[in-house]
Structure 1
């Protein structure tokens, strides 16, 4: 243990050698799902011992590691980029791309759980007063994809990103989620599309207000109706397609944080502030389940159809509902938050408690007109300044960063816990709207 707490040059070699021994041992065993109880115990003991070393190494060297990877915090690496750089520069600290590629070919139940090592790494990085804020800034920058598409969107007012369609009408950017194959359940693909759309809406100078809504579905039960979001795509999770870096961390630190805090623009005059922010409106049709309900907590105004409902079925799924544990108590109070998160309570739009989650409830036929009135109100000249001050009062960056540090670790553990693996296996075979 003391070897990984020594000076960095010696510690990185000691960690690499220990990790290599564990990898060599695992290579002698059958694949995880074919191991005997004794073999599983042997693997777990070796993996746990190596993780103890990783944690001890990072207790001492997190800032030095981060500074080396980012060239003294002059490079801004997003979470996935940072993980790849760490794997290359510090063997044994986090899994390599090759190791993760093998993991991606396996269903969740058959994986080694290598992303837990990423969780250990990001817990330490985000908790650091030096490295953490720098990584948060990196995640607030526009994506390269958005920058490539910006000129085209500004000229045409439309971008079809695949799972999200972005249209500008007047001064309003309308983001429509159109994954009708899964009722707008989120996966790695949709996270990339929606972050790109958020960036474009924030960067386009012609946009004053942004609106997020679900599109019209073709699913038999909802054919011809709009649906907001069915949350995380459990079939993708069961199949091993939900990534800690490209989904779970990117989602919270990327597009959701940008909706709340804006996109960070280098060229912006420093005295004006570092970010471009805009007011956001959400309109909920049918339901906002899981990740869909999480989104509402960062919007400035939320409207809902009278037959819609909201839920955070964390107890059913076994995972942590993003930053909802951090934000819902502030928005709705501790009692309702515990009922929703710990007990799986559904809140219907017509219940009195729903007014803690949404601003307006309308019959479906009247929702369109109500949305237009809402976006027009948020075009007021003083809205942006007051929005910023309200958000500063509600949620500090430091508190959010500390939450996300622990979230990175705990969510990685949950992804590979036996109860989650069992539940998503059952849910993945169910119909999308009844899977939660």
Structure 2
């Protein structure tokens, strides 16, 4: 909490897991202040040594309705040029967290809410979830990474269909096209996301970071360049204590017996 207001987005840490919690009622609309809070929480999660995996969570009945349209409606072109840079920076900060990130999605994840879910490495949603990018119905396009991350996740054809129409998907259709990874009863979403995150606590943090970097950076380039990225990150891990522990323990005791320190 700041001296002036409650944070609309905050980081809560327990047992190695950081929960980035959206808490701007009634629909977790991401106004300018919430975007700043999101950026701050993402940077904190990225840099805290006691955070080894991250859960994005909006609550038991909603994830996020996206940007605050009332706020955006009054912005001029010149104001949006400045604001859009901050907007994208907040979401990019979440995508750049060098740790496994899972989105726990209940209710609706629309517009910026969907774009925030797209920054995660894994998405768990409730059976009542509605997810999509309806910006076209406002005469604009997604501006917080939706046109880029959705296309990379589900393919350009499906992304164009969803963005051109602005329609929201139900949970099962989202699962069918790969937009989400698990569909569960609403009450099981956060526990399942937490279980997914917990498997990485105490794991090889540097290797996990390198794996995420290799996949994310490689997805935006050609195969040859991606292989060069992979080779550099792979070789770099041979300078870590975790690699030495993992390989030595494998040779002496078999797989799955190593203890990692993140160094």
Give the TM interval when normalised to the shorter protein: 0.7 to 0.9
Q: Quick check: which one's strand share is greater?
A: 2
Q: CA RMSD in A?
A: 2.2
Match of 1:335 among 157, 168, 189: 157
Match of 1:320 among 124, 127, 141: 141
User: C-alpha displacement at 1:365, in angstroms?
Assistant: 2.2
Give a deviation string over 1:37-96, Cα, whole Å, max 9, x none: xxxxxxxxxxxxxxxxxxxxxxxxxxxxxxxxxxxxxxxxxxxxxxxxxxxxxxxxxxxx
What residue is the counterpart of 2:35 in the other structure?
Answer: 191
Change in Cα spacing, 1:240 to 1:339, as seen in structure 2 (3 Å) is same
What residue is the counterpart of 2:251 in the other structure?
Answer: none
Structure 1 residue 261 and structure 2 residue 96: aligned?
yes
Distance 2:81 2:55 in 1: 26
Output aligned runs, 1:79-158, within 5 Å.
none
Give a deviation string over 1:300-331, Cα, whole Å, max 9, x none: 11110111011101220111202222222221
Normalized against structure 2, the TM-score is what?
A: 0.74
What residue is the counterpart of 2:80 in the other structure?
Answer: 244
What residue is the counterpart of 1:291 in the other structure?
Answer: 112
SS in structure 1 at match of 2:172? coil
What residue is the counterpart of 2:208 in the other structure?
Answer: 383
Match of 1:345 among 157, 160, 167: 167
Match of 2:218 among 393, 417, 420: 393
How many residues matched? 213
Preserved contact between residue 347 and residue 353 of structure 1 (Cα < 8 Å): no
Output aligned runs, 1:31-46, within 5 Å.
none
Structure 1 residue 163 and structure 2 residue 8: aligned?
yes
What residue is the counterpart of 1:123 in the other structure?
Answer: none
Change in Cα spacing, 1:281 to 1:292, as seen in structure 2 (3 Å) is same
User: C-alpha displacement at 1:353, in angstroms?
Assistant: 5.1
Give a deviation string over 1:82-129, Cα, whole Å, max 9, x none: xxxxxxxxxxxxxxxxxxxxxxxxxxxxxxxxxxxxxxxxxxxxxxxx
Preserved contact between residue 104 and residue 124 of structure 2 (Cα < 8 Å): yes
Distance 1:278 1:369 in 2: 19
Change in Cα spacing, 1:161 to 1:317, as seen in structure 2 (3 Å) is same
Preserved contact between residue 125 and residue 171 of structure 2 (Cα < 8 Å): yes
After TM superposition, where is structure 1 displaced by more than 4 Å over at least 4 residues in a row? 352-355
What residue is the counterpart of 1:373 in the other structure?
Answer: 195
What stretches of structure 2 of length at least 5 have no aligned partner?
Answer: 222-263
SS in structure 2 at match of 1:356? coil
Distance 2:95 2:10 in 1: 21
Normalized against structure 1, the TM-score is what?
A: 0.46
Q: Quick check: which one's helix share is greater?
A: 1
SS in structure 2 at match of 1:351? helix
Preserved contact between residue 173 and residue 209 of structure 1 (Cα < 8 Å): yes
Preserved contact between residue 124 and residue 183 of structure 2 (Cα < 8 Å): yes
